[in-house]
Amino acid sequence: MNAVIETKKLTKTFHMGDVAVHALRGIDLVVEKGEFLAIMGASGSGKSTLMNLLGCLDEPTSGEYYLDGKSVAGMSKNEYADIRNQKIGFVFQGFNLLARTSALENVELPLFYDRTRRIRNPKAAALEALERVGLGTRVKHHPNTLSGGEQQRVAIARALVNQPAIILADEPTGNLDTRTSIDVLSVFQELNDQGITVILVTHERDLAQYAKRIIEMRDGHVLRDARVGNRRIASVDLAEFHDDGAYELE
């Protein structure tokens, strides 16, 4: 077995004044290398909290978390930052690109903070990442001159550039129309086919069908954990949209 992520009894409790909110109540999760996992659940189910813990943006209250075989618990803030830098690529709902900064520079950003300097030529690596998401011709464009789908592709390229162990995507299609959503998912599927582990947080059941495995959360527990039976292929669905001609707004 080749687990990229393994959590044991992971809990997270927030304190709002005197009230303790148990966002996560003991999550046991194993994600293998090369998986495409969708985390589903209504708001308040704890999926965002889990996402933050997996992404090393936040520390668990208790439990164990092994990322790429290494225990993450009890690390310093700087070590957390370095893990985010080298092991994880984030894709957010709101794209979260730096404004008035070219696509290329946005993608280079993680390499700027990479203290290992394992990537010799940041610019070349960034160009390659943009190429991989199909934006090789728009590297000089600023985010405000790119469509929503293109912006999200830039964000995916940024998540890729550091050769992370996993890509964490938090509602990556929340701001996009259906066609563009499927378009973005086709990028994720393509990357997953190339062996990259992807975790997708979404509340849309339709979109979760593009993953290989779905876990459903409720009240801080994993409610269901199942393989996707009839997996959808984004590139196929996309072709239908083109035939339709109805979804050309981006």
Partner 1 sequence: MLQIRNLFKAALKSLLKNSTRSLLTSLGIIIGVSAVIVMVAIGEGAQTVIEEGINSLGTNLIIVFPGVSQSGGVSRGAGSFNRFTFDDVEKIKKEATLLRGISPVVRAGGQIIGGSGNWFTSVYGVSPEYFEIRNWEIDKGAFFTERDDRSSKKVALLGATVAKQLFPDEDPTGQQIRIRNTPFTVIGVLKAKGQSGMGADQDDVILAPSTTVLYRLRGGRWVDMLNASAASAATNKRAQEELRSILREAHRLNEGDDDDFTIRDQEEIAETASETSRVMTLLLGSIAAVSLIVGGIGIMNIMLVSVTERTREIGIRLSVGARSSDVLVQFLTEAIVLSLFGGLVGIILSVGISYGLNRFTDLHAIINPHIIWISFLFSGAVGVFFGFYPARKAAALNPIDALRYE
Site stretch for partner 1 (CB under 8 A), options 13-21, 111-119, 189-197, 235-243: 111-119
Residue 129: CB minimum distance to partner 1, A: 13
Q: Does 238 bind partner 1 (CB under 8 A)?
A: no
Q: Does 82 bind partner 1 (CB under 8 A)?
A: yes
Enumerate residues 10-69 that contact partner 1 by CB under 8 A: 52, 55, 57-58
Q: Does 114 bind partner 1 (CB under 8 A)?
A: yes
Strands (E), the chain: 3-16, 19-32, 36-40, 62-67, 70-71, 88-91, 166-170, 197-201, 213-218, 221-227
- List phi, psi (to 5°) of 217: -115, 150
Q: Is the dihedral of CA 122, 123, 128, 130 positive or negative?
A: positive
Which amino acid is present at 234?
A
Q: Does 113 bind partner 1 (CB under 8 A)?
A: yes
- Look at residues 42, 46, 1, 41 and name the one whose alpha carbon lies nearest to residue 27: 46
Nearer to partner 1, 85 or 189 (CB): 85
Residue 95: CB minimum distance to partner 1, A: 10
Q: Does 110 bind partner 1 (CB under 8 A)?
A: yes
Binding-site member from 3, 30, 75, 109 for partner 1 (CB under 8 A): 109
Binding-site member from 37, 38, 97, 167 for partner 1 (CB under 8 A): 97
Q: Does 153 bind partner 1 (CB under 8 A)?
A: no
Residue 130: CB minimum distance to partner 1, A: 16
Question: Which residues, 6 or more positions from 51, have their beta carbon under 8 angstroms from its beta carbon?
Answer: 39, 168, 170, 199, 201
Whether residue 135 contacts residue 185, with contact meaning beta carbons closer than 8 Å, is answered with no
Instruction: Say how far apart CA 51 and CA 39 lie, in whole Å.
Output: 9
Binding residues for partner 1, rule: CB under 8 A, are 52, 55, 57-58, 77-78, 81-86, 90, 92, 96-101, 109-110, 112-114, 158, 162
